[in-house]
Amino acid sequence: MLVYSEDQQLLKDSVARFVKGNSPVSALRRIRDAKFPLGYDTDVWAEMDTQGWLGVLVSKEHGGIDYGFVGASIICEEMGRTLAASPFIVASLMAATALHLSGPNAPAARWLPAIASDRAVVSLAVDEKPKHAPAEITTHAVPNDDGWILTGAKSFAPEGFQANAYIVSARLPTEAGTALFLVEAGDPGLTVERIPALDSRNVARLRLSEVAVAHDRLIALPDHGLEILDEALDAGRLGTAAEMSGISQEVFERTVDYLKQRKQFGRTIGSFQAIQHRLAHLHCEIETLKSVVLAAARAAEDDLATAKSLISAAKAKAESVSQLAAAESIQLHGGIGMTDELDLGLFMKRVRSASELWGDRHFHADRFAALRGY
């Protein structure tokens, strides 16, 4: 059923209140203006931890609340509405998924409880090229008696700066495919550099210069590595699509409100039919986006492995709709829409970043088509 349960509606209301009070858009603005390198407020992260949300996908056995993908996507959507900055999607959705699927193993035992109850930030270091391409990596892991030696570079690791640990994808010399390893902050040979990001969020590039990882840092070997990675990425794609849906709804509502007030030519500009039709069209686009995000979240909750085509549809649709919403919101605000004083520019910048994360609309249309057999 594509309706929220009562509990889910309560969660939605609760997160909405939380972000409004604890992390409104002005919080991101402050982070940006202070050039605060962490890119998020640890007090907000701590508050989210108190709410139990950080363990949303962590099993109860590991200290989480195991609330499922619909709950997780609700949190993401509401956070999108205020551009609330945090490592939530990367750590609580993606890393948690990767560790759950690969376990039981040492990294899962060590890091799942830490994610659920210790505010641990585990980032994904996967991409190496300018466009998301998880299978196209040159980072490699050479085995030795104690484990492996990792060498390579990762170009874009969201939430990577000052993360506690990283899930790193690498090739093995002897077999095709992708392996996943757990690298910890402070491991010798690991360099993490902050990228000053368009959306003011935490992003890093990594260099691994012969980073030694012991056997107990292996997450998955190539028979499973890419499969697990893809599901972890899908968790991120879903969460990001939900965030983009929240952004779309927020900028749309602000625009409608503005157009009901702004007067030119002796009348409210929201009374011009040309303007009304653009808004009505956008409203329909946003409604259809909400539907596919919810359907994808439900499918992911039933079985993440088989939710791929819905998740790709959601991510692709989220990009086209949120880009339209962001662009229209600026255009329809006229001159002030272009100013930094208004929040619209911040939303648009986040839409741009979110579009690139974990595969853009082209990537996902391609995957959707492939899954549909063409």
Partner 1 sequence: MGSSPSHDLSEFRLETREWLGANCPAEMRQPSRGEQDICWGGRDWIFQSDAQEEWLHRTARKGWTVPTWPQEYGGGGLSRAEEFVLREEMLRIQARSPLDSFGISMLGPALLKFGNEEQKRRHLPKIALGEIRWCQGYSEPNAGSDLASLQTRAADAGDHFLVTGQKVWTSYADKADWIFCLVRTDITAPKHRGISFVLFDMESAGITTRAIRLISGKSPFCETFFDGVVVPKENLVGELNRGWGIAKYLLTHERQMIGAGGTAKGPLSKKTLGEIALESIGVDDRERLRDPILRARIADSDIESLCVDLTAARLKDEASQGIEVGARSAILKYAGTEAKKRRHEILMACGGFDALTSVDNGPETGVFAREWLRSKATSIEGGTSEIMLNIISKNILQLPGE
By CB under 8 A, what part of segment 242-261 binds partner 1? 256, 259-260
Q: Which is nearer to partner 1, 55 or 359 (CB)?
A: 359
In this structure, how many other beta carbons lie within 10 angstroms of the beta carbon of residue 362? 12
Residue located via tokens 């991409």: 127
Tell which residue, 124, 163, 191, has the closest CA to residue 40: 163
Least distance from partner 1 to the Cβ atom of residue 130, Å: 20
By CB under 8 A, what part of segment 343-362 binds partner 1? 362
Exactly one of 214, 280, 336, 338 binds partner 1 (CB under 8 A); that residue is 280
Contact flag: residue 313 with partner 1 (CB under 8 A): yes
Distance CA 352, CA 236 (A): 16
Q: Which is nearer to partner 1, 217 or 367 (CB)?
A: 367
Alpha helices in the chain (DSSP H): 6-22, 25-33, 42-51, 68-81, 96-102, 106-117, 225-261, 273-303, 308-332, 344-356, 361-371
Distance CA 24, CA 82 (A): 5
Contact flag: residue 135 with partner 1 (CB under 8 A): no
Contact flag: residue 10 with partner 1 (CB under 8 A): no
One-letter identity of residue 18? F
Contact flag: residue 368 with partner 1 (CB under 8 A): yes
The count of chain residues that interact with partner 1, using the rule CB under 8 A, is 40
Contact flag: residue 270 with partner 1 (CB under 8 A): yes
Least distance from partner 1 to the Cβ atom of residue 170, Å: 25
Least distance from partner 1 to the Cβ atom of residue 333, Å: 15
182: left (phi over 0), alpha (psi -120 to 50) or beta: beta
Question: Which region among 116-124, 178-186, 263-271, 338-346 touches partner 1 (by CB under 8 A)?
Answer: 263-271
Least distance from partner 1 to the Cβ atom of residue 297, Å: 12
CA distances to 102, 219, 223, 305, 338 from 228, rounded to whole Å, are: 7, 9, 10, 9, 42
Alpha helices in 82-171 (DSSP H): 96-102, 106-117
Q: At 306, phi and psi to the nearest 5?
A: -100, 10
Tell which residue, 126, 220, 121, has the closest CA to residue 169: 126
By CB under 8 A, what part of segment 54-113 binds partner 1? none
Contact flag: residue 325 with partner 1 (CB under 8 A): no
Question: Which region among 35-43, 57-65, 273-281, 323-331 touches partner 1 (by CB under 8 A)?
Answer: 273-281
Contact flag: residue 366 with partner 1 (CB under 8 A): yes
Encoding tokens for residue 3? 């309706």
Q: Are strands 165-170 and 122-125 parallel, antiparallel or unpaired?
A: parallel
In this structure, how many other beta carbons lie within 10 angstroms of the beta carbon of residue 223? 11
Residue located via tokens 């849906």: 245
Least distance from partner 1 to the Cβ atom of residue 42, Å: 37
Least distance from partner 1 to the Cβ atom of residue 312, Å: 8
Contact flag: residue 176 with partner 1 (CB under 8 A): no
Contact flag: residue 369 with partner 1 (CB under 8 A): yes
Contact flag: residue 316 with partner 1 (CB under 8 A): yes
Encoding tokens for residue 303? 């079985």
Contact flag: residue 365 with partner 1 (CB under 8 A): yes
Exactly one of 144, 265, 273, 303 binds partner 1 (CB under 8 A); that residue is 273
Question: Which region among 44-52, 81-89, 151-159, 283-291 touches partner 1 (by CB under 8 A)?
Answer: 283-291
Q: Which is nearer to partner 1, 36 or 272 (CB)?
A: 272
CA distances to 17, 60, 61, 70, 172 from 52, rounded to whole Å, are: 15, 11, 14, 15, 38
Encoding tokens for residue 99? 């560790």
Contact flag: residue 373 with partner 1 (CB under 8 A): yes
Contact set with partner 1 (CB under 8 A) = 1-3, 256, 259-260, 267-268, 270-273, 276-277, 279-281, 283-285, 287-292, 294-295, 313, 316-317, 362, 365-366, 368-370, 372-374
